[in-house]
A and B are shown apart, each in its own frame.
Chain A
Amino acid sequence: MQLAQQRASAAVCRRPQAFAGANVPLARSVRPVAPARQQQQQRSFVCQAAAVEAPTAKPSGNPSLLSVGAPDTYAIVEVGGHQMFVEPGKWYTCNRLQVEPGSKIKFGRVLALKQGGTFSVGKPYLEGASVEAEVLEELKAPKVIVYKMRPKKHYRRKNGHRQPLSKFMVTRVG
């Protein structure tokens, strides 16, 4: 009798064992530490072939080229040492351009162009194709702390860096 009581009391105090086959509920409820995160939408590539079949794609929070598929008209231009996809009516950031904000500029180095269903690729640049844009503002990227340290050698360097950028809005692609 005593043994049984001891075993029963011990069973109550003992934590539920989490081994395979044990169907024991938790003794206390789980207290959430942080608000429940929203279910992130599964990103998958959307290509032309798929987009034709399923045109109604639910737009997620941050649409990117790979989540919403290729747009109808765009150009691939070389700006500031980078190549980027530009569409008419959208703004982009690039390395600082030496122009006044508010002025209109034209990008001449167009590597590829898609217009009205035809995709043309330049060798290396397309003749006669250009992208017109208007420079919106000059800004700086968020600060990046560059920290270098050599242990036990009395060497520490700390620098901050804010990359100067330009923001431009594309008005015409063609």
Chain B
Amino acid sequence: MSLHRRLVWKVAKGFRGRAGTCIKLARQQAEKALQHAYRGRKEKKREARSLWIQRVNAGSREHGVKYSEFQAGLKQMNVQLNRKVLSEIAATEPFSFQALVEQVKFMRGIGGGGGGKVA
């Protein structure tokens, strides 16, 4: 069963050209829009996570630690802050984030801090 006309106009009002005025075209474009919304809701989560990782990477590289090593160090310390929160800490609290990075450096033996690499 196709979309009810009420819903079609709710979705397709303001679309360009005849897709915003003629029911036959608007119905097709409304279906497309809803499918794109479904897909976009899933992609939004992926993109957000990718952005957080980039930010954490940038923040940790400022102090000489790559993202992969940083995550490995956090896992070793059993710190379960997720990427979203880590990225916000890195952006708004540089000193606290630096402390975390220094701790990771110590744990992983990077940059001359502590002994050799912890297996």
Task: Enumerate chain A interface residues (CB-CB to B < 8 A).
Answer: 45-49, 65-66, 69-70, 76, 78, 83-85, 111-112, 114, 119, 121-124, 144-149, 156, 158
Contact = CB atoms under 8 A, between A and B. Distances in A.
Given A147-B31, A147-B35, A156-B1, A47 B93 contact: yes
Interface of B: 1-3, 7, 31, 34-35, 37-38, 41, 77-82, 84-85, 88-89, 91-96, 99-100
**Mostly helix, strand, loop or mixed at chain B's interface?**
helix
Contacts of A124: 78-80
A46 B81 contact: no
B24 to A, nearest CB: 16
A70 B93 contact: yes
Contacts of B79: 111, 121-124
28 contacts: A46-B92, A47-B94, A48-B93, A48-B95, A70-B92, A83-B82, A84-B85, A111-B79, A111-B81, A111-B85, A112-B81, A112-B89, A114-B96, A119-B95, A121-B79, A121-B81, A121-B100, A123-B77, A123-B78, A124-B79, A124-B80, A144-B41, A145-B7, A146-B38, A147-B35, A149-B31, A156-B2, A158-B3
Nearest to B92: A70
